[in-house]
Structure 1
Amino acid sequence: MKKLPIYLGGVFATLLISATAHAACDVDKPGYELSGDEAESVYDCLKADLQAGYREGPKRWISEDFVNDYPGWTKASAFPAAPGFHGGRFLVTYVNAIGADEYLKYKPEDVQVPAGTKIAKESFAINDDGKVSKGPLFLMEKVRAGTSPETGDWYYMMVAPNGAPQAVNVVTACSECHLENFSEQGGLGYPVEDARIR
């Protein structure tokens, strides 16, 4: 499996600039040194403000229900997954009822993702000085077969920490990475092994 570099181009540069610092949650070490429990403590500190920020303002082409409802879905990560894809951010993944059973199998191949599956990934970053910043909300929706063959019948969306919907090229910024790295998993990128809900 070929892996893309953590930095995926201009879209993440833009998001890094717009990321909101959150000094109250800063830690005394670089993000890559945090244990799962320590990462979860940072998330606990950020969670309320992070989710409130995503809900701010109009969502335009993104369903407000998507953004408002995801915290009530099935959580698919026991703690924020270690940095990797999505610009090296920590991710907390939620899956709706339609897709949760299939997603939580974490199958490496022959994944049958039902249409109507929705996935939300909250994100935050911790730099080498331990400074915490809120990241965007990454959203995926599986649509009916043949609706969007170029993206494997996935719709991708993104909401900034201040609630603004982000216009990105979903093919180059999202779909190409998912299909190149996770095509045998139905386009699903799972949390790292240790962070998976069992």
Structure 2
Amino acid sequence: MFASARSFQNYLAIIVTALISSLFLFPAYAQQDDDVKPIGHIELSNPADLTKQQAEQIYLSVLPEIKAIFAMSDIGAATKYTSWKRYNNAPYISATHGARYVDNYANEIAKDYGKLKRGETYPKGSILAKDSFSVTSDQSIFPGALFLMEKMGKGFNKPSGDWKYTMVLPDGSVFGTTNGENSDIVEFCIGCHAAKATLDHIFYVPKGYSKDP
């Protein structure tokens, strides 16, 4: 767990600063996946190489703090996403999220998450949530941002496939949202997910990490 309340606040300050800086360090790629270098998030230089069991144990130990962070947000999904179905069996490193460990959740409306066929789309109101944390090679643990995708009505934003992307910083504040405040900041999300346009712009859990058979 985070060492103390003071060190936890220091971690928050470091991560918030890094996240803000990262959005101006990298241009967006037209196509991305979790097996290519990330663009849009500053890449962790020394991520720990954890086993699935180690990553899961760390995630469960810090989950109360993560939940408390996002409970401070005024975004409803950020306060309750951990009550939704979790689709991965352990945190995994996402290259497109700066080599951070992430987890995937989806609300009941998006219950077909990962099962969509080409050309199909998710219903309006579907919400996907991806929280994140960092573990460095010296075993320091840092909270990360929460990334939300919400399926909006037809015509909301054609390039995004009518998905609204929202990035919630690890102090509970919203840093950017599609067609809203700081919309330009989350445009790299649209460019990244465009690689999966035929699957309604959705990346699924990597092979070997899905809870579903």
What TM-score does the superposition give when structure 2 sets the normalisation length?
Answer: 0.73
2:157 maps to 148
**CA distance change for structure 1 residues 6 and 66 in 2, over 3 Å: closer, same or farther?**
same
The amino acid of 1:78's aligned partner reads N
- Select the structure that is richer in helix: 1
**CA distance change for structure 1 residues 149 and 30 in 2, over 3 Å: closer, same or farther?**
closer
CA distance, structure 2, for counterparts of residue 155 and residue 86 of structure 1: 18
Asked which structure has the greater RCO (Cα within 8 Å, sep 6+), the reply is: 1
CA RMSD of aligned residues (A): 2.4
Deviation of 1:108 after TM superposition, in Å, equals 6.3
What TM-score does the superposition give when structure 1 sets the normalisation length?
Answer: 0.78
> Matched residue of 2:38: which SS?
coil
Q: Name stretches of at least 5 consecutive residues in structure 2 with no aligned partner.
A: 1-29, 177-181
> Matched residue of 1:194: which SS?
coil
1:173 maps to 188
Q: Out of 53, 60, 65, which is 1:49 matched to?
A: 65
1:70 maps to 81
> Matched residue of 1:113: which SS?
coil
CA distance, structure 2, for counterparts of residue 75 and residue 69 of structure 1: 12
1:197 maps to 211
CA distance, structure 2, for counterparts of residue 184 and residue 127 of structure 1: 35
The amino acid of 1:142's aligned partner reads K
The amino acid of 1:7's aligned partner reads P
Deviation of 1:152 after TM superposition, in Å, equals 1.1
Are 1:37 and 2:48 counterparts?
no
Is contact 1:151–1:171 with CA below 8 Å preserved after alignment?
A: no
Q: Name stretches of at least 5 consecutive residues in structure 1 with no aligned partner.
A: 17-28
2:105 maps to 94
Is contact 1:156–1:170 with CA below 8 Å preserved after alignment?
A: no
Is contact 1:141–1:155 with CA below 8 Å preserved after alignment?
A: yes
Q: Out of 168, 182, 199, which is 1:185 matched to?
A: 199
**CA distance change for structure 1 residues 8 and 183 in 2, over 3 Å: closer, same or farther?**
same
Is contact 2:32–2:193 with CA below 8 Å preserved after alignment?
A: no
CA distance, structure 2, for counterparts of residue 6 and residue 54 of structure 1: 27
Is contact 2:148–2:165 with CA below 8 Å preserved after alignment?
A: yes
**CA distance change for structure 1 residues 3 and 67 in 2, over 3 Å: closer, same or farther?**
closer
The amino acid of 1:103's aligned partner reads Y
> Matched residue of 1:40: which SS?
helix
> Matched residue of 1:85: which SS?
helix
Q: Out of 99, 113, 123, which is 1:103 matched to?
A: 113
